[in-house]
Amino acid sequence: MNLDKVTHINQHRFECHHYGTLIFTLLTSKILLAHKFECWQEHQKELSDIKAMKYIAVHKELVWSIILGTQEEAGIANQLLKEMLRKTCVKEVKKGKMSPLKIIETRLS
């Protein structure tokens, strides 16, 4: 790492940036949790947290549309995010094992 090449940054600016990043991470994880639950309820498929966060990191504009867009833009972005997460971020179950949500479901019933 080239730490000696990092320019000086105002402490207040760094704290604001850091706080904003934490808020974005919190909102993103809340959105992801809602989509994970919905995907499990509708399709009996579990989403991978790692795959989903990688997808969201590349497509941040969808999250920004959900958070800051108009109600119509947020609905469209939410639907698109839901479809893409379901298609690309399904957790792969190891051979001969049950998924964690399936284990919980069998224990509770």
Q: What is the pLDDT of residues 19-66, one digit of tens each?
A: 999 999 999 999 999 999 999 889 888 899 999 999 999 999 999 999
Where are the strands (E) in 6-89, listed by range?
none
Rounded-to-integer distance, Cα 47 and Cα 51, Å: 8
Rounded-to-integer distance, Cα 76 and Cα 79, Å: 5
Rounded-to-integer distance, Cα 36 and Cα 21, Å: 22
Tokens 């509770």, located at residue: 108
Rounded-to-integer distance, Cα 71 and Cα 94, Å: 40
Query: Please, what is the Cα angle at 103 between 100 and 104, to 5 degrees?
Result: 90
Rounded-to-integer distance, Cα 61 and Cα 74, Å: 11
User: pLDDT band at 106, cuts 50/70/90?
Assistant: confident
